[in-house]
């Protein structure tokens, strides 16, 4: 579900910019270098990198801020990942 959500929100270039502007952005973007065949594969690699770095929780807050009109789509996916949004 996260892959579908992120693919609906971003192009490949937009996702790279979004990730690059966040916590540890330069390092995350460097980890995404190389030939990535599609947006779906880029999303999978990016999510794995965010998980590895313990940054998934920050993703939800940033997505809600960037896409306020899509909060109804973001929150259910965030809940699957254990994020309630309490205090955000």
Q: Residue 86: inside a domain, yes or no?
A: no
Closest to 11 in 3D by CA, of 31, 48, 40: 40
pLDDT value at 87 more than 50: no
Q: What is the pLDDT of residues 22-56, one digit of tens each?
A: 889 889 988 887 657 789 999 999 999 999 999 98
Rounded to a whole number, what is the distance in angstroms from the first to the last CA of the chain?
22
Do the domain assignments include residue 74? yes
Query: Please, which contacts does 9-12 make with residues 24 or more away whose CB atoms are closer than 8 Å?
Result: 9/63, 9/67, 9/70, 10/39, 11/39, 12/36, 12/39, 12/42
Q: What is the pLDDT of residue 79?
A: 94
Question: Which domain range does residue 71 map to?
Answer: 2-80
Confidence of residue 85 (pLDDT cuts 50, 70, 90): low
87 lies in a domain?
Answer: no
What does the pLDDT read at residue 20?
A: 92
Residue 41 lies in a domain: yes
What is the per-residue pLDDT across 54-78, written as a single tens digit (0 to 9) for each? 998 889 999 999 999 999 999 999 9
Whether 16 is in a domain gets the answer: yes
Instruction: Report the domain count for the chain.
Output: 1
């Amino acid at each position: 579900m996260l892959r579908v959500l992120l693919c609906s929100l971003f192009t490949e270039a937009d996702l790279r910019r979004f990730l690059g502007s966040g916590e540890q952005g330069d390092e995350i973007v460097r980890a995404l270098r190389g030939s990535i065949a599609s947006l779906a594969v880029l999303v999978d690699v990016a999510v794995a990198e965010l998980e590895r770095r313990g940054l998934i929780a920050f993703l939800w807050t940033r997505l809600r801020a960037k896409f306020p009109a899509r909060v109804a789509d973001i929150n259910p996916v965030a809940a699957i990942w254990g994020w309630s949004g309490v205090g955000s």
